Amino acid sequence: MEIVTNSTPLPAPAGGSAVTIGAYDGVHLGHRSLLAELRTRAEQGGLATVVVTFDRHPAAVVRPESAPLLLCDLDQKLELLASAGVDRTVVVRFDEERANETAEEFVTRELIDGLDARLIVVGEDFHFGHGRKGNVALLTEMGAVAGFEVDGLTLSSEVGGDGPAVSSTRVRTMVSRGDVEGAASLLGRPHQVRGPVVTGDRRGGAELGFPTANLEIPSDICLPARGIYAGWYERPDGTRYRSAVSVGRRPTFYGPDGEVLVEAFLLDFSGDLYGEPARLSFVHRLRDELTFATVDDLVVQMGLDVEHTRSLLSP
């Protein structure tokens, strides 16, 4: 997959392109069904498939006070788009200047001049441009003049499916409630967070007997609700370990106002993880975060959580 940014423009694909546009946060099953339709239509017309997306969620610039937390960072989004078989992804830098650009200007610059678009496939409720005035109707009107077709689709898990629409908002809601199983059913994969392993308070190994990897997750990434989870920790070389994961404030030690941390105890592992980039996938929710009367009670429960994780996840 070619990746194009503002600083590294490429010529328009020879023969024209079939284009989709959007934030594509999470690249969930609704997105994937749309991309499958895009590929099918592109093959029929001999066109290259192109996704036009943004280096950040547009809401982070337009309405930062209410911008949604993200299901994936830009690197993961690009990986997911590549795995969906897209020929080219154009990453548009979204800043104040872009936020004030009209929908017509965006279509002319990015889609007509930049990509020689012959077909545009988007979600039926897609909006873009200053004031969100761009939509399927505007694209259709401009396409009639510029010579491209437009198709607005419902983002269901299957193209043409009659089930409920899949949206990044639905997935975020599930993740934020701790329903990681439900989120995975819409993502087509477990929800994953990424970040480096950093030094914690060192209680896990020395005091509790369960040394944990503390992940520093960017503040704009959507975390599951506070609780204990079974998941997979992936190292840079691709090796994966079953992990009992805590997302919480460690109230037994720090009360209800402690900092929210993401900590993973890797089963059947010993070694130094500090500083390495980690990928942590949430598979099952085990229980709520609890406050224990004694440290011994906490250690007993942690042992039960580890064995529960072992039983749920095949090695």
Digits of tens for pLDDT over the chain (315 positions)? 888 887 677 888 999 999 999 999 999 999 999 999 999 999 999 999 999 999 999 999 999 999 999 999 999 999 999 999 999 999 999 999 999 999 999 999 999 999 999 999 998 889 999 989 999 999 999 999 999 999 998 877 654 455 668 899 999 999 999 999 999 999 999 999 999 999 876 655 556 788 999 999 999 999 999 999 999 999 999 999 999 999 999 888 888 888 999 999 999 999 999 999 999 999 999 999 999 999 999 999 999 999 999 999 987
Torsions phi, psi of 111, nearest 5?
-95, -45
Say if strands 261-266 and 213-215 run parallel, antiparallel, or are unpaired.
antiparallel
Do the strands 2-5 and 88-92 form a parallel or antiparallel pair, or are they unpaired?
A: parallel
Please give the model's pTM, rounded to 2 decimal places: 0.92
Give dist(CA 197, CA 181) in Å, integer: 25
Question: Is 208 exposed, middle or buried (CB count within 10 Å of its CB: 0-12, 13-18, 19+)?
Answer: middle
Under DSSP, the state recorded for 77 is: H
Q: Which of 133, 163, 193 is the last residue of a domain?
A: 163
In a shared domain, residues 229 and 148? no
129: left (phi over 0), alpha (psi -120 to 50) or beta: left
For residue 79, the enclosing domain spans 2-163
Residues 153, 209 within the same domain: no
Residues 80 and 178 in one domain: no
134 and 229 fall within a common domain: no
